[in-house]
Amino acid sequence: MTSDPIWQPLVEELARRQRAGRKAEFWLRDDDAVDPTLALDRLLDLTGDFAVSVTLAVIPALTNEKLVVRLDQAPHATVAVHGWAHRNHAPEGEKKQELGAHRPREVVLDDLGRGLSRVTSLHAARAVPMLVPPWNRIDAGVVSDLGSTGFTALSVFGPPKPAALAVINSNVDIMDWHGTRCCRDHGLLVQAIVAQLQRAFDGGEPVGLLTHHLVHDESAWLFLERLFEITTRTEACAWLPIKTLIGRGAAKAVPGKG
């Protein structure tokens, strides 16, 4: 329970949902997993305690069986493909990109095909053919050719652009990358979540929460715990597994779109 005024706008929005008989939908994407760590344990324990499904964007070139063994104990975790090596190929002074137009498209697609097959062979049924581009950036030409590599879904950040595959974007990032590099102000995060819920009510996307367990400060963990406490104790909320969203997104995909 919370009577914290910071969280009140979310509590009220969820009460409105309940009255309207509509569910507030969330999903959780956590980036940069490679190895089992204490921070990963903390994420898996916290999400497990609240039965929240989590999609881990795993860096294929850097990971191995150790992560497989750990995730065998976490049935609520799904694994997506986080580029190939999370390596920047943009020149200095430009925004970092692994999947930009800095290399021939075939080379980039080759990396991505290798990434998908590595993650799938390691994680089998826990893997989903969803690409999460490092730094949430990818060349539009690469997107239009992604289907040929076996991917059926893409997840970046912000409002989705139409594409030939399912696009399931994150839209609320809890970290303040450009300022403190700590968790963003909880009140501002609550506002961002409520705003996204209102867009979702009008036909927009579910709340896609983006986290990075390796860099969370205590404030980030506290935010997640409060959010899960509030959202998992009401019938008005659902934390969706990524497979549900990929299925829905496939129906919205636009053939021939880049």
Which residues contribute to the site for Zn ion (CB under 5 A)? 31-32, 134
User: Least distance to Zn ion from the beta carbon of 229, Å?
Assistant: 27
For the bound state, the minimum distance from the C-beta of residue 43 to Zn ion, rounded and expressed in Å, comes to: 15
Question: Which lies closer to Zn ion via its Cβ, residue 156 or residue 246?
Answer: 156
Is 197 within 8 Å of 177 (Cβ atoms)?
A: no
Q: Would you say 129 or 134 has its CB closer to Zn ion?
A: 134
Nearer Cβ to Zn ion (13/32): 32
Q: Rounded to the nearest 10 degrees, how much is the dihedral formed by the CA atoms of 204, 116, 72, 217?
A: -60
Q: In whole angstroms, how close is the CB of 46 to Zn ion at the nearest point?
A: 20
Closest to Zn ion by CB, 17 vs 212, is 212
Closest residue by beta carbon to Zn ion = 31
Tally Cβ neighbours within 10 Å of residue 45.
11
The CB-side HSE value for 157 (13 A sphere, CA atoms) comes to 14
Rounded Cα–Cα distance for residues 77 and 52 (Å): 9
| CB of residue 168 to Zn ion, shortest distance in Å | 16
Nearest to 217 by CA among 186, 172, 252, 249: 186
